[in-house]
Amino acid sequence: MMQVRSATVVGAAVAVLVAVSGCTSGESGSDASGGKVTLDFWGWAPGYEKVVAEFNKTHPDIRVDFQKTASGSKGGYTKMLTAAKAGNAPCLAMVGYETVPSFVAAGALADITKYAAPHKGEFADWTWNQVTVAGKTYGAPVDTAPMALFYRKDLFAKYGIDKPPATWDEYRAAAEKVHKADPDVYLGTFGTDAYNYAGLAWQAGAKWFDTTTDAWKVSLDSGANTKVADYWQGLLDDKLLKPEPSFDPSLYKNMASGKILSDVNAVWNAPLLASSVKSTSGKWAVAPMPVWDAGKPAYGNDGGSSTAVMKDCEHPEQATEFAMWMSTNKDSLGTLIKDTGIYPAATAGLDRPALSEPDPFYGGQKIYDVFKKESAQIDTSWKWGPTMTQTSTDLTDGLGRTGKGSTTLPEMLAAARKKTVGEMKSQGINVTND
């Protein structure tokens, strides 16, 4: 697997923007009075509350209070940044790898390098780099998010699809076959999730950001990106996909009723899908994500998150202790695999029994075998930009308009690149293209 420079390089560019403030007090084993330390933790992933409860049972001197928020893209990040600006942010927050550089640039995270450094060897190198900016570490990696094809075995058989499509050419052929048989049925959907689309670009080697020089280059509409955009636009133009807002009830209604037969999504989608279409339990399976070149398979990654320490946390040492425990403890990992659907960033997590258990919803398949095999063929040199909260908002809006036919993917990507460049320049970031 390729090694990454990503967040370290990102840091060189964003570090000049801010002086990130550290935590202000409470750096001993307990608070100043010798009492129990309490840490607030904001996040949205299922299963996190169970992990927190287990930690609290086994750590009498530290209490973590978990508050569920909207997901980052649905307002969670805005709430966190607003709280950080007001000086009343929680100690801990669930922050996706893609957003860590933006939070650093906003001065919202605490430098916990001295507490985190001893744990570096417990994680895959590229995931540690995702929480490290300009040589400073801001949280603990939790997971990676290899993508796969979730599909209805029974309906594939009904429509004469003998095996899940292994390439994108086969995917299009299957989509044509299904829609020809029944114009109300679709092989898949076209959603509005910016990071799901990022995973499609990632798979194809269509980089979005580059820092090989002293300035940023934004390339959302490069030639490689146009290849990906033209493919999906072609499916839309030929009415072979059903546009649906990502994770919307209407999407799951159509999946449950057999109107949508598959979904290209990340590993964490496994429990989400199972809870959303319970009536179809046992009828689903997981196959590798279709690839561009069967002779040189490469896969995409849609997500991956950290447990980050926010800037005004009064107890950074204890916050780091919890964050590292959550990512590496065997019981915590078991819960996160089962309930959250993670593929662990910690190397110790890769031999957890939960990764080898048959899943009843997926017909008894050991679905993590698919993600394990794919993980070795994901390009870990992908880089996120320093203004992803803005970029992802523009992409989400653009994907929605593309699905409705009011713009095209190539046009939308060009517009998102232009807005991203403008935002970066407004923050004083050196950009090579305009």
User: What confidence category does residue 276 fall into, taking pLDDT thresholds of 50, 70 and 90?
Assistant: very high
Strand partners, 81: none
Interatomic CA distance for residues 221 and 226, integer angstroms: 6
Interatomic CA distance for residues 372 and 280, integer angstroms: 25
Residues near 224 by beta carbon (within 8 Å), at least 6 away in sequence: 201, 204, 205, 206, 207
Interatomic CA distance for residues 15 and 100, integer angstroms: 12
- What letter represents residue 411's amino acid? E
pLDDT greater than 90 at residue 5: no
Angle at which helix 223-237 crosses helix 409-426, to 10 degrees, equals: 140
Same fold, 6-144+304-351 and 147-301+382-426: yes
Interatomic CA distance for residues 222 and 239, integer angstroms: 25
List pLDDT tens digits, range 129-151. 999 998 999 999 999 999 999 99
Residue 261 pLDDT: 98
Alpha carbon dihedral 376, 141, 305, 89, in 10-degree steps, equals -170
User: What confidence category does residue 162 fall into, taking pLDDT thresholds of 50, 70 and 90?
Assistant: very high
List pLDDT tens digits, range 349-373. 999 999 999 999 999 999 999 999 9
| Average pLDDT over every residue of 386-396 | 93
List pLDDT tens digits, range 16-61. 444 333 333 333 334 544 569 999 999 999 999 999 999 999 999 9
User: What confidence category does residue 68 fall into, taking pLDDT thresholds of 50, 70 and 90?
Assistant: very high
Interatomic CA distance for residues 264 and 286, integer angstroms: 10
Long-range CB contact pairs, 124-130, < 8 A, 24+? 124/345, 124/347, 125/3, 125/4, 126/1, 126/3, 126/4, 126/6, 126/380, 127/97, 127/304, 127/345, 129/4, 129/5, 129/6, 129/7, 129/8, 130/4, 130/6, 130/7, 130/97, 130/100, 130/304, 130/306
Residue ranges of the domains in the chain?
6-144+304-351, 147-301+382-426
List pLDDT tens digits, range 405-419. 999 999 999 999 999
Residue 214 pLDDT: 83
The fold of the 147-301+382-426 domain, in CATH, is D-Maltodextrin-Binding Protein; domain 2 (3.40.190)
- What letter represents residue 192's amino acid? T
Could you tell me the pTM of the whole model?
A: 0.89
Average pLDDT, the chain: 91
pLDDT greater than 80 at residue 9: no
Whether residue 23 contacts residue 311, with contact meaning beta carbons closer than 8 Å, is answered with: yes
Interatomic CA distance for residues 67 and 69, integer angstroms: 6
Domain 6-144+304-351 sits in CATH at: 3.40.190.10
Whether residue 207 contacts residue 219, with contact meaning beta carbons closer than 8 Å, is answered with: yes
| Average pLDDT over every residue of 189-196 | 96
